[in-house]
């Protein structure tokens, strides 16, 4: 056998995605879908949506199908280990038999993690880190209903949870297994419309981080390449419109699809250091995941540019640039310029230390410190990002020195 013909990752893993209902009015099917999955009493898990009317509306839709509902609205942004364990207690106390998560990635990730705990007799979620071989692969049914266009957690086979047991040096970890994918995902752009402009922008940058990270990943997963490029194309065309007018139905629907197909891409292709840096920052300072990606992505694109000029050139074409007659290097430079311009146009903060008081910001509250660029912070953030699973699939090999430089620039620098 001529092993020189083998790639670094010759065998590709394609991970499952759930059954899905996508499009305007899809959320009207939540109750019927829950009943079809055999649910009789569900734990409806959400974050800060109580009082917006969405929770009451969804609760009513579920109950109209003959399924009773217990609401758990204590999920925090960047869900914590104690959120998961509290939800497990609520699930047991209410004698529930299924989950419905309503919101963005925090709600969905917390629900997915709670399902794992429920299937393993209440063991702490901190025991379930990395690629998992679940002792009990039969998890309670779960419907994930999105109210944002960014995370794609409603259709992925992993969750991200913050381990708070290590004091100030919190660890944000990923748990993944094929069985963790929800039983069904529901994306309805009607539910996205009330999302404020800043969070719309931040979530949209998460879509771009998913799509570009999957496209550039050294896993080089061919089935993920097309969806990744299409997600980039849709986001560059429609995200500015969705930010400018959240009630534009076409823009909201297009971003719904961009989110979903970017999830299809990264679910099997992996990501890059944009996510590794954002994970580290949100674990330490409780920053919004999307804004973390928005601040990090221009830095990581610039760093990774020489790792794959041809792919960056193709991304420039998806972003709407005419690259005919240009070298791959020149076209790749256009991609970076376009990302910087989009971040500026959407008012993505220049750095983590210049974060504004954005919608639902939790920075500096609940025991988390304000963002700091002290040497000890940079050292911890670098260590966290270096062992993040997303760093392993980055198109360029990272060293502690190169990671530290990127994190320092993201903390206190400005976009190029």
Mean pLDDT, rounded, for 345-359: 95
Mean pLDDT, rounded, for 126-153: 97
Tokens found for residue 241: 């419109």
Judged against a pLDDT cut of 90, whether residue 335 lies above it is answered with: yes
In this predicted structure, what is the pLDDT of residue 6? 54
Give backbone dihedrals phi and psi of 290, rounded to 5 degrees, phi first: -65, -45
148 pLDDT tier (thresholds 50, 70, 90)? very high
Q: How far apart are CA 43 and CA 143, in angstroms?
A: 10
146 forms beta bridges with 103, 187
Split into its structural domains, the chain has a count of 2
Mean pLDDT, rounded, for 389-403: 96
Domain of 385, in residue numbers: 197-412
Q: Which of 158, 192, 226 is the last residue of a domain?
A: 192
Give backbone dihedrals phi and psi of 119, rounded to 5 degrees, phi first: -80, -5
Mean pLDDT, rounded, for 35-62: 92
Is 8 domain-assigned? no
pLDDT in tens, 180-230: 999 999 999 999 999 999 999 999 999 999 999 999 999 999 999 999 999
Considering the chain, what percentage of its residues have pLDDT values greater than 90? 91
Judged against a pLDDT cut of 70, whether residue 231 lies above it is answered with: yes
Mean pLDDT, rounded, for 44-64: 90
Sheet holding 184-187, edge to edge: 19-22, 184-187, 142-146, 98-103, 41-45, 68-72
247 and 128 fall within a common domain? no
95 and 154 fall within a common domain? yes
pTM attached to this predicted model:
0.96
10 pLDDT tier (thresholds 50, 70, 90)? confident
Sheet holding 130-131, edge to edge: 130-131, 171-176, 158-163
Tokens found for residue 68: 């009773």
60 and 186 fall within a common domain? yes
pLDDT in tens, 277-325: 999 999 999 999 999 999 999 999 999 999 999 999 999 999 999 999 9
Q: What is the mean pLDDT of the chain?
A: 95
271 and 125 fall within a common domain? no
Nearest to 387 by CA among 130, 157, 209, 133: 130
User: Lowest mean pLDDT: which of 40-49, 110-119, 378-387?
Assistant: 40-49
**CA-based end-to-end distance of the chain:** 47
Judged against a pLDDT cut of 70, whether residue 50 lies above it is answered with: no
173 and 229 fall within a common domain? no
Q: How far apart are CA 174 and CA 136, in angstroms?
A: 18
121 Ramachandran zone, left/alpha/beta (phi>0; psi -120 to 50): left
162 and 255 fall within a common domain? no
36 and 182 fall within a common domain? yes
Q: How far apart are CA 115 and CA 154, in angstroms?
A: 14
In this predicted structure, what is the pLDDT of residue 1? 43
Judged against a pLDDT cut of 90, whether residue 98 lies above it is answered with: yes
Q: How far apart are CA 205 and CA 105, in angstroms?
A: 14
Q: How far apart are CA 163 and CA 127, in angstroms?
A: 10
CATH number at residue 265: 1.20.1090.10
In this predicted structure, what is the pLDDT of residue 48? 74
Mean pLDDT, rounded, for 149-163: 97
Q: How far apart are CA 413 and CA 416, in angstroms?
A: 9
Q: Which of 192, 225, 240 is the last residue of a domain?
A: 192
195 Ramachandran zone, left/alpha/beta (phi>0; psi -120 to 50): beta
Question: 10-43: buried (b, 16+ CB within 10 Å) or exposed (e) per residue?
Answer: eeeeebebbebbbeeebbbbbbbbbeebebeebb
User: Lowest mean pLDDT: which of 214-228, 279-293, 335-349, 357-371?
Assistant: 357-371
Q: Which of 168, 192, 216 is the last residue of a domain?
A: 192
Q: Decide if 95 contacts 41 (C-beta within 8 A).
A: yes
Instruction: For the chain, give the number of residues.
Output: 416
Mean pLDDT, rounded, for 108-133: 97
More confident residue, 10 or 6: 10
Is 176 domain-assigned? yes
150 and 223 fall within a common domain? no
């Amino acid at each position: 056998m001529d092993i020189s013909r083998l790639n670094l990752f010759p065998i590709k893993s394609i991970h499952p995605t759930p059954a899905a209902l996508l499009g305007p009015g899809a959320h009207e099917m939540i109750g019927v879908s829950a009943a079809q999955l055999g649910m009789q009493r569900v734990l409806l898990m959400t974050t800060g949506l109580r009082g917006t009317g969405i929770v009451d509306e969804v609760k009513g839709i579920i109950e109209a199908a003959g399924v009773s509902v217990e609401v758990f609205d204590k999920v925090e942004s960047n869900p914590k280990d104690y959120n998961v364990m509290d939800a497990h207690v609520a699930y047991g106390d209410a004698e529930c038999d299924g989950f419905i998560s309503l919101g963005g990635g925090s709600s969905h990730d917390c629900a997915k993690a709670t399902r794992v705990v429920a299937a393993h007799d209440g063991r702490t979620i901190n025991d379930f880190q990395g690629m998992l071989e679940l002792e009990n692969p039969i998890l309670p049914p779960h419907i994930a209903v999105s109210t944002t266009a960014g995370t794609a957690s409603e259709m992925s086979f992993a969750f991200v949870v913050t381990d708070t047991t290590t004091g100030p040096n919190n660890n944000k970890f990923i748990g993944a297994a094929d069985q963790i994918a929800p039983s069904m995902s529901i994306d309805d752009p009607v539910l996205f419309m009330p999302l404020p402009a800043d969070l719309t922008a931040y979530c949209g940058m998460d879509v771009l981080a998913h799509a570009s990270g999957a496209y550039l990943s050294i896993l080089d997963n061919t089935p993920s390449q097309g969806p990744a490029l299409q997600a980039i194309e849709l986001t560059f065309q429609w995200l500015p419109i969705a930010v400018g007018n959240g009630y534009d139905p076409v823009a909201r629907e297009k971003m719904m699809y961009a989110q979903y197909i970017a999830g299809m891409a990264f679910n099997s292709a992996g990501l890059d250091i944009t996510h590794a840096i954002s994970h580290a920052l949100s674990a330490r300072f409780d920053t919004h995941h999307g804004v973390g990606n928005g601040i990090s992505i221009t830095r990581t694109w610039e760093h990774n540019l020489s790792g794959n000029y041809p792919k960056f050139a193709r991304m420039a074409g998806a972003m709407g640039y005419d690259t005919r007659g240009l070298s791959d290097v020149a076209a790749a430079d256009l991609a970076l310029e376009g990302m910087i311009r989009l971040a500026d146009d959407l008012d993505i903060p220049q750095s983590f230390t210049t974060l504004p008081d954005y919608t639902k910001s939790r920075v500096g509250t609940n025991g988390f410190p304000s963002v700091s660029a002290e040497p000890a912070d940079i050292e911890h953030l670098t260590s966290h990002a270096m062992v993040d699973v997303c760093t392993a699939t980055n198109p360029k090999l990272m060293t502690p020195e190169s990671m530290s430089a990127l994190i320092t620039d993201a903390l206190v620098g400005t976009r190029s």
